[in-house]
Chains A and B, each alone.
Chain A
Amino acid sequence: MTKSQKNRIGSIVRYTLLTIWAVIVAFPLYWMVSTSFKPSEQWFAWPTVYIPDPWTIVNYLDVWTDRQEVATGQYIISAQRPWIAFGNSLMIALTATTLSVVYGAVIAYGVSRYRVLSEVRMFQLLMLRMIPPIVIVAPLSLYYSALGLLDTATGLILIYFLTTLPYSVWMLKSFIDEVPREVEQAAEILGAPRWRTLVEVVLPLVRSGIVATFLFILILTWSEYLLALLLAKTEVVTLPIELSKYQGTTEGRVYGRQAALSVGITVPLVFIGLIIRKHLARGFSFGMIRR
């Protein structure tokens, strides 16, 4: 076998494997989108319907307009309008993520430049994330009820902020470590107080890293289920909780509407990802600062 034949077989194998992998990864997404456009009899028809026929937007109308009065034999799922859940999720996730990234940046700067946390402490911080949330959620709900935080947006924001803080600190520290010390010292000797050095020099230089961290944390909080289920759910309903209400035993399974809601949950993240993709590419490839 010649070398070029070997190379060709190598590429065939490589591309075959990658294609299979891509299909495995993309299929659930495809299935979600296609189901959201299927009429109810095709949701779990046999033989399987891969492409909706006919296409319909009735699932979207049912979910997002909460058409309770439309008597087409479909179930009335929830009195809670998904838009309220969407609003809750948006407000809670954005607030918690912003807090997490802002505090994370300050702590990360302190750790990177002034070693305010030793390496052991930094590792302990990360270890907080290794505790399964289910372990802490029972005691936490007791605290929360004592503090009156149970089933409030503030309660969720607080817990999301605290549980994502270790990620923020670790991710942002790795970006801030990349900023040459001398650039900061140049600003200092030119007369910049410390906070202005941080705001005018360090943070702009790690902008891409901040954006990448922000999106990462946003995805975590946006799609968080367990804590939202146990610490909130009646007064304050987030999208993942709303989604779970579409597969109760009494209502039967309403895949189409669930899919339509899932698409609604996914689209904002994809949209944000597209807007900031320039930063993501730079942020996720470390070492972005030219020395």
Chain B
Amino acid sequence: MARIELVNLRKEFGALVAVKDINVTIEDEEFVVFVGPSGCGKTTTLRMIAGFEDPTAGEIRIGGRVVNDLEPRDRGLGMVFQSHALFPHKTVAQNIEFGLRMKKVPPAERARQVQEVAEMVRLTHLLDKMPAQCSGGESQRVALARTLVTHPSTFLLDEPLSSLDAKLRRELRAECDRLHQALKRTFIFVTHDQEEAMTLADRIVVMRNGVIEQMGSPMEIYSNPVNSFVADFFGSPSMNLLSGEVVHESGMCRFRCASGGFQVGLPDRFNGLPAGPITLGIRPEHVNAVPVGNGATNDLELAVRLVEPLGKETLLYFDVGMERPFVTVSESTAMAELDSGARLGLTLAREQICLFGPDGHRIRAGSAA
């Protein structure tokens, strides 16, 4: 049983508050990903769970027991580091064996378990090599095996894939997923890569500046972000965020963009919204782009600045006079052939529109007024 509870957990480094009183409960066998930009406190949180940092305040409970004062080795956890942290003077086999030796497992049993775990992560051919002779991906597999063999109740993974190239990263990501399903253990994974978080997690914890912004399943986070930060952080390309204001025209609530001079009617649920500054968010896949002049009425017409064919779909970039271009994604093959400068009519899927107040918080309906 490894239910991990973080209760009002706080960490200060001098004047800097790295983690601000967070509360998270991680269920047994759950795969939780802590994600956020660098400096958000996710790694500090993981290191506190591991026991390498002492919390300034708050409690860490593993299986109901407060472990604040336990040494890392007594917490029953396994950790994989970003830098792999293999023992450079020991062979791969000796690296894997280390944890078993510390537990005084007899040699014959050690050899058997090393062999078993090496087969599990497919590195039997590396056992006699030194870590310096292993590639990045191989090193990370050794680090994984070294942790696996000690049968920890929980795996802590600190950006384990970020030092690898894209292809290897995908491979090892699949490996992590497979291991989680096979082992039925708790996994806590820290990353700054939203894609990793989306693909691996049962539940995502989004952090920023030491605070948890949102917790939920990947789809919840993606389709129902609580604020503009989360909305922006997830998805590739990320959500379009247009700053502007709410205006009322003939009883209808409309959004007027601060630049570009276009207006979009808002769904009925926002009718009660007071006039004032607001940010409209819409994901690229929720904007329909069609060539101008087919008779349909569009929300706005813009000239394409850049066409990025990705094969299955095409990304279209428009200039709306803001820092970031407005992006849409189209599955129509005709779009890939467009020249930049061509004018397109865009329609926003009304129900998918997200509104964020000046403080970045999501506005769910107009009744708040």
Contacts and interface: CB of A to CB of B under 8 A. Distances in A.
A190 B85 contact: no
Interface in B74-89: 75, 77-79, 81-83, 85-89
A67 interface: no
A193 B73 contact: yes
A204 B89 contact: yes
Contacts, number: 65
Given A190-B98, A191-B99, A185 B73 contact: no
A191 B105 CA distance: 12
A201 B86 CA distance: 10
A188 B73 contact: yes
Contacts of B86: 183, 186
A220 B72 CA distance: 42
Contacts of B87: 183, 186-187, 201
B45 interface: no
B132 to A, nearest CB: 6
A254 interface: no
A192 B73 contact: yes
B89 A205 contact: yes
Interface string A32-73: 000000000000000000000000000000000000000000
B73 A191 contact: yes
Interface in A140-192: 180, 182-183, 185-192
B32 interface: no
A290 B88 contact: yes
A290 B132 contact: yes
B72 A196 contact: no
Contact count band on B: 20 to 34
A183 B85 contact: yes
Interface in B93-152: 98-99, 102-103, 132, 143, 146-147, 150
A291 interface: yes
Contacts of A186: 79, 81, 85-87, 143, 146
Interface of A: 180, 182-183, 185-193, 196, 200-201, 204-205, 207, 289-291
20 contacts: A180-B85, A182-B83, A185-B52, A185-B72, A185-B79, A185-B85, A186-B146, A189-B50, A189-B73, A189-B75, A190-B146, A191-B102, A192-B98, A193-B73, A201-B87, A204-B89, A205-B88, A205-B89, A289-B88, A290-B88
Contact of A189 (B72, B82, B132): B72
Given A180-B83, A196-B102, A189 B88 contact: no
B83 A192 contact: no
A210 to B, nearest CB: 13
A190 B147 CA distance: 7
Given A183-B86, A191-B102, 14 more contacts: A180-B83, A183-B87, A185-B81, A185-B85, A186-B79, A186-B87, A187-B87, A188-B71, A189-B50, A191-B150, A192-B98, A205-B88, A205-B89, A291-B83
Interface of B: 50-52, 71-73, 75, 77-79, 81-83, 85-89, 98-99, 102-103, 132, 143, 146-147, 150
Contacts of B147: 190
Most buried by A among B79, B87, B150: B87
Contacts of A183: 85-88
Contacts of A200: 98
Given A190-B99, A192-B102, A182 B73 contact: no
Nearest to B51: A189
A5 to B, nearest CB: 44
A178 to B, nearest CB: 12
A205 B89 CA distance: 7
Nearest to A196: B102
Pick from B50, B52, B102 the residue with the most CB of A within 10 Å: B102
Contacts of A191: 73, 99, 102-103, 150
A19 B77 CA distance: 61
B253 to A, nearest CB: 54
Contacts of A291: 83
B79 to A, nearest CB: 5
Nearest to A190: B99
A201 B73 CA distance: 16
A182 B85 contact: yes
Contacts of A193: 73
A185 B73 CA distance: 10
A287 B85 CA distance: 16
A81 to B, nearest CB: 44
Contacts of B52: 185, 188
Nearest to B89: A204
Contacts of B98: 187, 190, 192, 200
A190 B83 contact: no
A287 to B, nearest CB: 13
A188 B150 CA distance: 13
Of residues A185, A187, A191, which shows the largest number of chain B Cβ atoms within 10 Å of its Cβ?
A191
Contacts of B146: 186, 190
- CB-CB nearest 10 A-B residue pairs: A191-B102, A190-B99, A182-B85, A186-B85, A191-B73, A189-B72, A182-B81, A204-B89, A183-B85, A189-B79
Contacts of A190: 73, 78, 98-99, 102, 146-147, 150
Contacts of B132: 290
Contacts of A289: 88
B98 to A, nearest CB: 5
A227 B88 CA distance: 42
A18 B52 CA distance: 52
